[in-house]
């Protein structure tokens, strides 16, 4: 198995997770390397990490059933939370003006396989049945 230390730490920082993340979480972002963030412009990096963390936390928090216990009993992150966070990160990069995006941002968008979190059918890509307008 690949060493996912950097991926898990970076993801935990973005999520604000003080509990360690399991290997499956690191595997979800395993294709990303330190250079991918380093080569983004500061505003792009902040937008991507901010959106990823914010949306993943919102997804997790929506599953919390005991609202009176505060942060103590927040549910653990699940794959769907990270997935929505990654979709939001993609949308954050797409929101950067095309003529002002860095080469790395365009490269990452070109390689991205997840659907965006925004648009007329959030969470679905153009190839998903039922998203085509006739």
Within the chain, how many helices (H) and strands (E) appear?
Answer: 6, 0
pLDDT, one tens digit per residue, over 7-54 is 999 999 999 987 788 999 999 999 899 999 999 999 999 999 999 999
Residue partners of 93: CB distance under 8 A and separation at least 6: 44, 47, 48, 101, 105, 108, 109
Tokens standing for residue 103: 């080469």
pLDDT, one tens digit per residue, over 90-119 is 999 999 998 999 999 999 998 887 776 655
DSSP letters spanning 59-86: HHHTT---GGGGGGGPPPP-HHHHHHHH
What local confidence, expressed as pLDDT, does residue 126 receive? 36
Residue with tokens 């797409």: 94
């Amino acid at each position: 198995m690949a060493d996912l230390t950097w991926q898990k730490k970076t993801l935990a920082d973005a999520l604000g997770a003080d509990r360690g993340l399991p290997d499956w979480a690191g595997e979800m972002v395993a294709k990303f390397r330190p250079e991918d963030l380093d080569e983004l412009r500061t505003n792009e990096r902040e937008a991507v990490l901010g959106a990823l963390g914010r949306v993943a936390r919102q997804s997790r928090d929506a599953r919390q059933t005991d609202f009176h216990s505060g942060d103590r009993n927040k549910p653990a992150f699940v794959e769907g939370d990270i997935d929505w966070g990654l979709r939001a990160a993609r949308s954050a990069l797409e929101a950067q003006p095309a003529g002002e995006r860095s080469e790395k941002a365009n490269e990452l968008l070109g390689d991205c396989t997840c659907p965006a979190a925004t648009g007329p059918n959030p969470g679905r890509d153009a190839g998903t049945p039922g998203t085509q307008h006739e």
